[in-house]
Amino acid sequence: MFSTNELRDHGKAGGRGEWKRIEKKNALQFEITDELEEAQEIVAELLRSGEKPVITVPDEHIENIKKNGIPQISQYDRSGMGKHYSVLAGRLGSEPYFNAKEERWVVVIDPSNLTISPRMTGKDDSFYGTITIDGRVPAESITVLGKFSKKTWAEYSEKNDKESEVDNLAA
């Protein structure tokens, strides 16, 4: 696990250098890997490039999070595997998590001074963009984008991608 500053430096001297990114395929901006070291390099490159972690929050927690930040998470895995987590999971370089018919608040987190690590997930235990944030996230590190469903997020993302392409052409 690396602090944000260590992640930014990881991949420079002695590392693999700049990570090869892929056009958005299935909402991912990088190659999927089952190697933890490669996943750490991907996270470092995404952070260096300005990507910020995104989480989704249910209605009942949004006001408290805006006011007080996000406390360190400590809970047992509900899958029955008996694992204990003391981290907040989010997404980096990929779309936020939504259940099929649920609306959630999308929150962007400033990664400065946070410890961010890749989280290997899925049946193949690979990195698909899920990250963990260890410890507390202060309220001043949080930007609430709004409330979205999977469908409205896709529309919002498409509109913002087009606007950013126009801005880049105008520059």
In the chain, what is the greatest distance between 2 CA atoms, to the nearest angstrom? 53
Containing structural domain, residue 111: 2-170
Pair 40, 114: CB distance under 8 Å? no
Over pLDDT 70: what percentage of the chain? 68
Interval 49-86: pLDDT, tens? 899 999 999 899 999 999 999 887 655 555 555 554 54
Indicate the number of domains in the chain: 1
Q: Is the pLDDT of residue 159 over 80?
A: yes
User: What pLDDT does residue 17 have?
Assistant: 37
Specify the DSSP class assigned to residue 12.
S
Q: Is the pLDDT of residue 136 over 50?
A: yes
DSSP string, 121-162: BTTTTBBSSEEEEES-B-GGGEEEEEEE-HHHHHHHHHHHHH
Its pTM stands at 0.73
Categorize the per-residue pLDDT at 163 as very low, low, confident or very high, splitting at 50, 70 and 90.
Answer: low
Interval 78-108: pLDDT, tens? 555 555 454 578 999 888 988 878 899 999 9
